[in-house]
Copies of this chain bind each other. A is one copy, B any other.
């Protein structure tokens, strides 16, 4: 199980997110899904997909004249990796510091706070 650094750029991440939601999407479908937020050339998406396949991030299978792509890495792994990097890099691994910073530097609604409390209670029960 190779667990390579998993260091993704923004576009690569967005592409993966599209593929997680729509497995077996073709280049055109991915391009289309990204259209609203990024006005990329069709070939740009195709190139990116090929580069990502070379890195083992996605796989493809042929379907007639088209390639259908699938993510080859799990969303959880990617997110966790990014989370680790974030906490590690800025807060020396201290989750509390990281969350503290997130909490104090932005507006958080009361609802979100309550949601967080619940989360922590659950975590405590789990850790018991």
Q: Which residues of A contact B (CB under 8 A)?
A: 10, 13, 76, 79-80, 82-84, 86-87, 89-90, 94-96, 98-110, 112-113, 115-117, 119-120, 123-124, 127
Contact = CB atoms under 8 A, between A and B. Distances in A.
Chain A interface helix/strand/loop/mixed: helix
Copies, count: 2
A114 B12 CA distance: 37
A108 B82 contact: no
B120 A96 contact: no
Nearest to A110: B127
B87 A79 contact: no
A120 B105 contact: no
B79 A101 contact: yes
